[in-house]
Amino acid sequence: MNQFAQWLSQTYLSILIQNHNGWVIPTIQSIHIAGIGVVLASVFMVDLRILGWAGLDQTLRQTTNRFAPWLTGALCVLLATGVLMVIGEPVRELITVSFWIKMFLVGVGTLVAATFRISLRKHEHHWEDTISNRASIKWLAILTFLIWVVIIILGRLIAYDHVWGSWSPAQKA
C-alpha cells in the first residue's frame, strides 16, 4: 500500500492537485462535507419514518422514493470527491486506520441501504404493514444511522490518525 500510495502521488493528476493544494483540497473537502450532509439527512429521514417519528403522512415507499435518489446521487458525489482526495493526498489518506475502517463501513452502509430498497420494492405491503413495526427493524434503523455517523467521524479522523496510537500505520512507518 505504501508503494501504491507513492506511485499514486507521482501521477499527473495527483501532482496537478498537489500544485494547487491551497484551494483544490479544501474545495474538494467542502463539497465532500456538503454531500455527507445530504447522505446523512436522507438516511435519517427514512430511519425516522421506520421508527414512526416523522413523515407519518407518507407511506414508507413514498418516503424512500423521496430520499433514495438523493442518497444515490450524493454517494456518487462523495465517491468522486473522495477519489480525488485520495489521488491528491495518497499517503495522508491511504496510510491510516481511519480511512480503511471508514471504507469498510461505507460498504456496509451502502449494502444495507440497497438491500432495504430492493426488499421494500419486492415486499411493499409486507413492509408497510408488518416488517417496519418489528422491533428488530427499528433497532436496525438506529444502527444504520449510527454507521453513517461513525463514517463521518472516521472521515475527519483521517487527518488525525495518531488517535489510533500504535494501530496507525503512519506511526509504525
Partner 1 sequence: MDLPTFLASLESSGVATKIRNSLYFFPLIEATHVFGLAMVFGTMAIIDFRLLGLASTRRSFRRMASDILKWTWAAFIVTAATGSLMFITNAGVYYHNIFFRTKIVMLALAGINMLVFELTAGRSIDRWDKAASTPLIGRTTAVLSLAIWITIIFLGRWIGFTTTRATVGPEPQINLDNIFPGASEGTTPTAPPNEK
The contact pattern for partner 1, residues 83-102, with x = CB under 8 A and - = no contact, is -------xxx--x-------
Instruction: Find out whether 164 and 108 touch, Cβ atoms under 8 Å.
Output: no
Stretch near partner 1 under the rule CB under 8 A, chosen from 104-112, 114-122, 123-131, 163-171: 163-171
Q: Three-state SS for 17?
A: helix
The contact pattern for partner 1, residues 117-156, with x = CB under 8 A and - = no contact, is --------------------------------x--xxxxx
- Interacting residues with partner 1 between 2 and 31 (CB under 8 A): 2, 5-6, 9-10, 14-15, 18-19, 21-22, 25-27, 29-30
The verdict on 173 binding partner 1 (CB under 8 A) reads yes
Q: CB-based burial of residue 49 (10 Å sphere; 0-12 exposed, 13-18 middle, 19+ buried)? A: buried
The verdict on 157 binding partner 1 (CB under 8 A) reads yes
CA–centroid distance for 139 within its chain:
20
Q: How far apart are CA 100 and CA 79, in angstroms?
A: 14
Instruction: Find out whether 167 and 48 touch, Cβ atoms under 8 Å.
Output: no
Q: What is the dihedral of CA 71, 74, 75, 78, to 10 degrees?
A: -160
> Whose CA is closest to 163, among 97, 94, 105?
97
Figure out which of the listed residues 39, 78, 97, 120 binds partner 1, where binding follows CB under 8 A: 39
Instruction: Find out whether 90 and 14 touch, Cβ atoms under 8 Å.
Output: yes
The verdict on 42 binding partner 1 (CB under 8 A) reads yes
> How many chain residues touch partner 1 (CB under 8 A)?
53
Please report, as ranges, the residues that interact with partner 1 according to CB under 8 A: 2, 5-6, 9-10, 14-15, 18-19, 21-22, 25-27, 29-30, 33-34, 36-42, 44-45, 48, 53-55, 57-58, 66, 70, 90-92, 95, 149, 152-157, 159-160, 162-163, 170-171, 173
